Amino acid sequence: MKSILAATLSIVTLVSSALAGPVDDMLSADRTFAAMAKSDGVPAAFAAYASDDVRMFPEGGASYQGRDKLVERFAGWPDGAMLEWTPMDGAAASSGDFGYTWGTYVFTAKGEDGETSSYGKYVSIWRKDDGEWKFIVDIGNQSPAPEPAD
C-alpha cells in the first residue's frame, strides 16, 4: 500500500513538474539575468541573455532586431543608471522550448538633483537555443506606481 502511494505520488510529481518545468526554467533564467544586471551591469546582462535574432521594443523608440544592434544601443547606457526587475509569472508552449515571462521593473537614473525612479512592467519571450534559454523579445511600458502582483 505504501509503495502504491509512493508510486502514485511520484507520477503526480513527474506530471506536474513536466508541466511546471519550462515556466520555472524561464523564471529562473529571468532571475539569473536580473542578478547579472546587478553584478555585471545592464548592458553585459542583456548581451548575454539575448538571442542572435532578438527583437527589441524600447519605450518611446522604434523597434529593432539583432543582438549586435542591442550591444550598440546599450553601449550608451547612462552612468549610474540601473534597471532592476522582478519576474512574476509566465506560460510555455507544449513543446517546452518557447514561452514568456512577465514582471515589474524599476529604472533608477542619477541626475543633478539626485536619483529619480520610474516604474513599469515587462514581457520577455524566451526560446530554448541549444539547451539554453535566450530572450527573443523584450518589451515593457510604464506603470503609475509600484504595482502588486495580479
For the chain, how big is the Rg over CA atoms in Å? 18
List binders of its own copies among 74-133 (CB under 8 A).
91-95, 97-100, 102, 121, 123, 125, 127
Measured distance CA(43)–CA(34) in Å, rounded? 11
Residue closer to its own copies (CB basis): 41 or 98: 98
Q: Which of 16, 76, 10, 65 is nearest to 43 (CA)?
A: 76
Strand partners, 109: 116
Residue closer to its own copies (CB basis): 46 or 55: 55
Binding mask 58-77 for its own copies (x = CB under 8 A): xxxxxxxx------------
Q: Taking the complex as a whole, how short is the minimal distance between the CB of residue 99 and its own copies, in angstroms?
A: 7
| Sole binder of its own copies in the list 13, 16, 117, 142 (CB under 8 A) | 142
Measured distance CA(81)–CA(107) in Å, rounded? 7
Q: 133 to each of 26, 64, 78, 95, 126, how far by Cα in Å? A: 7, 21, 27, 14, 6
Q: Judged by CB under 8 A, does residue 49 bind its own copies?
A: no
Query: What are the residues binding its own copies (CB under 8 A)?
Result: 55, 57-65, 91-95, 97-100, 102, 121, 123, 125, 127, 136-137, 139-144, 147, 150
